[in-house]
Structure 1
Amino acid sequence: MTSATDPLPLPAVPRLIATDLDGTLLRDDKSVSDRTIAALAAAEEAGIEVFFVTGRPARWMDVVSAHVHGHGLAICANGAAVVDLHAGGKVLEVRALERSVALDVVRTLRDAAPGTSFAVELTTGIHYEPDYPPFHLDPGATVAAAEKLLDEARPDAGAPVIKLLAHHPQLTPDGFLTLARTAAGELASFTRSSPTALLEVSGLGVSKASTLALCCAQRGISSDEVVAFGDMPNDVEMLTWAGTSYAMGNAHPDVIAAASGRTVANNEDGVAVVIEQILKNV
């Protein structure tokens, strides 16, 4: 594995940079540093596209919406949605989790891990169960049992489910992820990005990597022409897929193992450090 201070692996000049947000591009206070803003702008000016690839829903993209340049696109909800940030976060493509599958996951995890509570992320917003940690950023959420929230007879049943979230108050984060993948991994894709035992569930085969691959194919960009950055398990597939990838200095051990390189922590502008090195070769 190389570090940010070693010579860059090929390609020296990529066509696309794909970066996670929380714990990666963003500092812990959720800000984008001046150094990082300048690096992103310089990359775009050099003809390198920058894609934000995050677990966040479209409505939480205000932290970086001002820093998207030409294309305006971002990949949200761990690959379940492609959005246009130039159009206020308009959802352009959805890779939905079928409600019937989400219900099967709910039933399976209730049996495998009693005490699990759920939230349902729709393209129109999030709703959650009474025992689920409340979303203070979403005061208009409906609070009800997951079975009711996923009922196809509900008025919002036409809104696609882009993510199911599962929280457990006692299990360890990695232990809960392993348990869920063992119990229901044939039904859906499971990952996590929170320091707590909070799992993110997408449609089978949906990930940051698979949606990024689709976006790159539309542009004639190969994986070898992509440099990716991440810090948590929901980034592992993307870092493995990209020809060159960097784990942040603050990254989860699984991310460090998956990446081809390592940079400094998010609070030290680790993404900007690498972009600056890339641009020296332009």
Structure 2
Amino acid sequence: MPAPKVIATDLDGTLLGRDGRLPPRNQKALQAAREHGVLTVAVTARAPRAVYRIPELAPVLDAAVCCNGAALYDTATQRTELRHPVPLAAARELHERLFDALPGALFAVETGERQLTQSTFLQEGVHLNDPWVFLEPGDDLVGAADAVAQLVVRVPGSTGEAMYEAARHIELPGVRLWHWGSFPEIECTAVEASKGAALAAWCAERGIDAADVVAFGDMPNDVPMLAWAGRSYAMADAHPDAVAAATDRTGSASDGGVAQIVEALLDLA
């Protein structure tokens, strides 16, 4: 197989280990790709700060598409551009409707620079997502934000799939809902914000077609990226939706599944 021009990879469950760090094998593989002239892009639900605070990532990335496609982080300039915010009026209405549809739901607003919430429970199971701004239960969560990259919703004891099913009847123009399988959270972005569309736009700005892109992912929010890329790999333990969208499979994150393919593509064995 010819070497790609771009390697695009999800982070959690794909490139990073369970400890949220970049394993040495994956780090070495991406560094080798860059030395071969291949551009490397992280495409993640994480906010930019949860990317640049992992010191091993910066040297092996050309850019990071963040917040499920709502924001772009330039690793060279260390600047974040919020490209597709959720309109504040839509975020407010969505917050109200999800509050009714999901009993016990906890909410946060991700701005791209910080996260506002009314519950410390939102901190659990999330890496490097400070600074947190904690509001009183009766405060206006959406009104306190200057911009909304994502509306984050969590229901303790539930699953993302169950939450999505309970909320999928909510039709709000210009808004899209994502879930992470068993993790009890859904994330709401502007409809223009998806991993596939954001990656396609980044590549188009550099004259790169889908045929020259290899992508890796494991969750439903990776589906648009996996479906768009000319070659795509679902991890061994990926969600069925990701498997269906990808052209191929690779090993699990713990087995260095990304590195396995990159090494083969670049003939590094």
The two structures have a TM-score, normalised by structure 1, of 0.86
Please give the alpha-carbon distance, in whole angstroms, between the structure 2 residues aligned to 1:133 and 1:123: 16
Deviations 1:144-193 (A, max 9, x none): 34861211xx4xx5x32111101123443212113323223544111123
Letter in 2 for 1:268: D
Q: Which has the higher contact order (CA 8 A, sep 6+)?
A: 1
Alpha carbons of 1:13 and 1:205: their partners in 2 closer, same or farther (altered >3 Å)? Answer: same
Please give the alpha-carbon distance, in whole angstroms, between the structure 1 residues aligned to 2:123 and 2:33: 38
Q: How does 1:57-96 map to 2 (within 5 A)?
A: 57-62=47-52, 64-69=54-59, 72-88=62-78, 90-96=79-85
Find out whether 1:122 has 2:111 as its counterpart.
yes
Other structure's SS at 2:156 match: coil
Count how many residue pairs are aligned between Structure 1 and Structure 2: 265
Quote the offset at 1:36 in angstroms: 1.2
Letter in 2 for 1:83: Y
The two structures have a TM-score, normalised by structure 2, of 0.90
Quote the offset at 1:201 in angstroms: 0.6
* Counterpart position of 1:98: 87
CA RMSD of aligned residues (A): 2.3
Q: Where does the alignment leave 5 or more consecutive residues of structure 2 unmatched?
A: none
Identity level (%): 36
Alpha carbons 2:161, 2:182 under 8 Å: kept: no
Find out whether 1:111 has 2:103 as its counterpart.
no
Q: Where does the alignment leave 5 or more consecutive residues of structure 1 unmatched?
A: 1-7
Find out whether 1:144 has 2:136 as its counterpart.
yes
* Counterpart position of 1:23: 13
Alpha carbons 2:164, 2:186 under 8 Å: kept: yes
Alpha carbons of 1:161 and 1:146: their partners in 2 closer, same or farther (altered >3 Å)? Answer: farther
Alpha carbons of 1:92 and 1:140: their partners in 2 closer, same or farther (altered >3 Å)? Answer: closer
Q: In terms of mean alpha carbon deviation, does 184-193 or 121-130 score higher?
A: 184-193
Alpha carbons 1:233, 1:254 under 8 Å: kept: yes
Alpha carbons 2:8, 2:214 under 8 Å: kept: yes
Quote the offset at 1:131 in angstroms: 7.5
Alpha carbons of 1:66 and 1:27: their partners in 2 closer, same or farther (altered >3 Å)? Answer: closer
Please give the alpha-carbon distance, in whole angstroms, between the structure 2 residues aligned to 1:51 and 1:72: 6
Other structure's SS at 1:141 match: strand
